[in-house]
Amino acid sequence: MAYNQKRALELLRLGSGQPEAQFRDQQEDAIRHVVEGKGRLLVVQKTGWGKSFVYFIATKLLREGGSGPALLVSPLLALMRNQIAAAERMGVRASKITSDDLDDWSSVEASIARDEVDILLISPERFANEHFKTDVLARIAGKVSLLVIDEAHCISDWGHDFRPHYRLLERIVRSLPPNLRTLATTATANNRVMEDLKTVLGPNIDVSRGDLNRPSLLLQTIRLKSQAERLAWLAEQLPSMPGNGIIYTLTVRDAEQVAEWLKSRGLAVVAYTGESGDARPELEQSLLDNKIRALVATTALGMGYDKPDLAFVIHYQMPGSVVAYYQQVGRAGRALAAAYGVLLSGDEETDINDYFIESAFPARAEVEAILKALEASSAGLSVPELLACVNVSKGRMEKAITLLSLESPAPIAKRGSKWQLTAAALSKAFWERADRLTTLRRAEQQQMREYVKLKSGHMEYLIRALDGEPGPVTSPKIPSLPSTVKSALVTEAIRFLRRASLPFEPRKKWPDAGGLPKYSLKGRIAEQHQSESGRALCYWGDAGWGAQVKKGKYQDGRFSDELVNACAEMVREWGPTPRPEWVTFIPSIRHPDLVPDFAARLAKALGLPFRQSLEKSDGRLPQKDMANSTQQARNIDGSLELRDAEVLSGPVLLVDDMVDSRWTLTVAAWLLRSKGTGEVFPLVLAKTGKGD
């Protein structure tokens, strides 16, 4: 098909909303390559270069030439709203099918049948959906004029953001006609990833690779070990920084905490995480419209978000890889002459990144236990049933099942709601890949440690790490930001970190998988036998009181008077109603004196009677060793008893050092309420943060 240069430029200007817009270097060449059908093409260009314009303009030109629709596979459909808006300005009719749009599937399918869809956007997970494959894909497969694989580095397990369901796409690509126009795009591909993509997409694929230098970015690394210091730095620097930006954190908890701190300093910021749910489009738009100074975000605000005039990207902690960092910091300064990219580095980032590395693949023992449980059940097992059989967390269970089911051949398959073994054995290649990638992630982590130590040459380091050629690198003429913080602000940040109390809700039903047979309990927990809402002083090991709680338990063998006073103050601020009239605690065989000593001192500080009303009837494994809610419930079943003579009648404060699953507190509250006490108010020093 002939390429229409005049029409292509017209579409660029319509899509961008800029009447004088011109194609960027190599952009038009890529569109021409696709339209003229010159073979498969891999476009590797930095964030903001305009990869979406390549596939939307090519789609429009192909459709105007009488060709069939395009199919776009992307992991980012929820974050492609602004790209789709640009496509619509060009007259490209874009529709998407995702698990979030189930109600729209039938209307989209009808539009496809009437040939009213120019480009269909799907996530790679759709290839695992039988309805999609048989009722949607099969109908248009012969008509598709262009297959677009966005964020193609996700195909490669060498990539920083490998998506397991892209394995399905790999098989689809291999079955495609060799002359089908295929365009793969990514901003983050080093040589290793590019070689992997060539293997998947075909050895004859052409590559369009651009310059990695970002001359508008001033990059800095600042080492501030404590979170209090970094909170103080943000509070001091953000008010005087230009424009709007993003502050990245490694965890949801940190995103919420940083946002709360900055809001308490009068700054218009909002947390943006995977838990933001339906509010995410509104939050994205708030930053696009400059209604807020910054989004404090996890990687949930990752690939696909495009605000060309972001003036800064600040990292609260060190990301796990150079590739991930380059992609995130590259959101700043796309349409500005100068922008800041600042990486703040602290002590906790090593533990967090270690956790991400160690949890990327299931352990051999976990996989063996899952396969053994399935082997013992000819009818198969659902995920809840597997959790009752195997001491693995729900998240790790679901990840293991996904990875196993996407192997080729797969050792497990789903039948209805249950997973069953297949005739295929798990290949050695699965573990070889896991070992190889774990080693790679460790090497990437070390690269980032080296980056953090740099005093200069930050951009050159990133480019070399991404296998690019640095050439002459220039930085914008803006001053570096200070690397020190005011001690008074640090003191205020410490006070902030220590002032929050964390509520947690009571459980309202016994475990689904058989209840608690030793107590003869199942179904819903009667309201008069439930605990009330509880409070935790901190998260385990966090930057407020958490480190002191950890030290008290494992180093000192006694919780400090400072923690007693902090909990007493928390109770006064909490004001549980009706007011507790006495204090008791959760006993422990391993640490028999730790919690009772603390609870007795807390009772004295509150002026309340203290009683040992509960005792352990036998030793069990620590609850922290139980990986999921069902296992935790079974572990507590039958292990607690009442000491009747020590039970008082009024409302009671029930004290423990930590809460994770809440099952211990739930059983203790049931025992106390069944004996006729008043309301039971749980109070713990720390939440583990793991939840269920």
Strands 502-504 and 534-539: antiparallel
Does residue 17 register a pLDDT over 60?
yes
Cβ distance 296 to 271 under 8 Å?
A: yes
Cβ distance 68 to 140 under 8 Å?
A: yes
Share of the chain above pLDDT 70, in %: 96
Using left for φ > 0, alpha for ψ between -120 and 50, and beta otherwise, residue 407 falls in beta
Does residue 692 register a pLDDT over 50?
no
Average pLDDT over residues 547-576: 95
Q: Which two tokens stand for residue 608?
A: 């309340």
How high is the pLDDT of residue 629?
86
Q: Which two tokens stand for residue 190?
A: 């080093």
Phi, psi for residue 265 in degrees, rounded to 5: -95, 10
User: Across the strands, what pairs with 642?
Assistant: 614
Q: How far, CA to CA in Å, does 507 sit from each of 531, 536, 595, 614?
A: 8, 16, 22, 19
Distance (Å, whole) CA 585 – CA 578: 19
Cβ burial of 142 (10 Å; 0-12, 13-18, 19+) is exposed
How high is the pLDDT of residue 471?
79
How high is the pLDDT of residue 100?
63
Cβ distance 499 to 239 under 8 Å?
A: no
Distance (Å, whole) CA 280 – CA 173: 32
How high is the pLDDT of residue 79?
61
Distance (Å, whole) CA 447 – CA 322: 7
Does residue 447 register a pLDDT over 90?
yes
Sign of the C-alpha dihedral, residues 138, 142, 146, 147? positive
Distance (Å, whole) CA 161 – CA 461: 21
How high is the pLDDT of residue 691?
39
Q: How far, CA to CA in Å, does 641 sit from each of 419, 529, 600, 615, 623?
A: 38, 15, 20, 5, 17
Q: 660 vs 449, which has greater pLDDT?
A: 449
Average pLDDT over residues 464-477: 87
List of domains in the chain: 5-209 (3.40.50.300), 217-349+454-479 (3.40.50.300), 359-426 (1.10.10), 498-687 (3.40.50.2020)
pLDDT tens-digit readout, 507-556: 999 988 778 999 999 999 999 999 999 999 998 888 789 889 999 999 99
| Helical segments of 536-681, H only | 546-551, 561-574, 594-606, 629-636, 663-674
- Provide DSSP, 381-446: B-HHHHHHHS---HHHHHHHHHHHHTSSS-SEEEETTEEEE-SPPPPHHHHHHHHHHHHHHHHHHH
Cβ distance 56 to 83 under 8 Å?
A: yes
How high is the pLDDT of residue 204?
80
Q: Does the bond joining 578 to the residue before it have cis omega, within 30 degrees of 0?
A: yes
Confidence of residue 267 (pLDDT cuts 50, 70, 90): very high
How high is the pLDDT of residue 161?
60
Cβ distance 492 to 264 under 8 Å?
A: no
Which range among 112-116, 547-551, 591-595 shows the weakest confidence by mean pLDDT? 112-116
Single pTM value for the model: 0.86
Does residue 649 register a pLDDT over 60?
yes
Distance (Å, whole) CA 229 – CA 381: 49
Q: Which residues touch 549 (CB under 8 Å, ≥6 apart)?
A: 537, 538, 540, 541, 559, 563, 657, 658, 685, 686
Amino acid identity, position 664 = T
Distance (Å, whole) CA 479 – CA 459: 16
Does residue 78 register a pLDDT over 90?
no
Closest CA to 302 of 464, 461, 445, 160: 160
How high is the pLDDT of residue 10?
96
Confidence of residue 103 (pLDDT cuts 50, 70, 90): low
List strands edge to edge, sheet with 534-539.
502-504, 534-539, 680-687, 652-659, 582-585
Amino acid identity, position 258 = V
The DSSP secondary-structure symbol of 587 reads -
How high is the pLDDT of residue 688?
85
Distance (Å, whole) CA 75 – CA 506: 36
Distance (Å, whole) CA 300 – CA 141: 32
Buried/exposed code over 653-675 (b: 16+ C-beta within 10 A; e: otherwise) = bbbbbbbbbbbbbbbbbbbbbee
How high is the pLDDT of residue 159?
56
**For residues 369, 375, 377 and 378, what is the CA-based torsion angle, rounded to 10 degrees?**
160
- Provide DSSP, 646-692: G--SS-EEEEEEEESSSHHHHHHHHHHHHTT---EEEEEEEE-S---
Does residue 80 register a pLDDT over 80?
no
pLDDT tens-digit readout, 292-348: 999 999 988 876 678 889 999 999 999 999 988 998 999 999 889 999 999 999 999
| Helical segments of 424-532, H only | 428-452, 458-465, 487-499
Which range among 202-211, 367-376, 589-598, 666-675 shows the weakest confidence by mean pLDDT? 202-211
Residue-averaged pLDDT of the chain: 90
Q: Which residue has the tokens 């002359």?
A: 179
How high is the pLDDT of residue 376?
95
Helix, coil or strand: residue 209: strand
Average pLDDT over residues 43-71: 92
Q: 198 vs 612, which has greater pLDDT?
A: 612
Distance (Å, whole) CA 97 – CA 136: 10
Q: Which two tokens stand for residue 333?
A: 């300064």
Which range among 33-37, 185-189, 585-589, 655-659 shows the weakest confidence by mean pLDDT? 185-189
Confidence of residue 205 (pLDDT cuts 50, 70, 90): confident
Share of the chain above pLDDT 90, in %: 63
Q: Which two tokens stand for residue 3?
A: 């390429």
- Provide DSSP, 294-335: EEEE-TTS-TT---TT--EEEESS--S-HHHHHHHHTTTTSS
**For residues 406, 408, 412 and 416, what is the CA-based torsion angle, rounded to 10 degrees?**
60
Average pLDDT over residues 401-418: 91
Distance (Å, whole) CA 120 – CA 98: 11
Amino acid identity, position 261 = W
Cβ burial of 526 (10 Å; 0-12, 13-18, 19+) is exposed
Average pLDDT over residues 551-567: 95
- Long-range pairs of 544-553 with CB within 8 A, sequence gap ≥ 24: 544/494, 544/497, 544/498, 544/500, 545/497, 545/498, 545/685, 545/686, 546/686, 549/657, 549/658, 549/685, 549/686, 550/686, 553/591, 553/594, 553/657
Which range among 48-52, 218-222, 372-376, 426-430 shows the weakest confidence by mean pLDDT? 48-52
| Helical segments of 331-376, H only | 349-358, 364-375
Strands 146-149 and 70-73: parallel
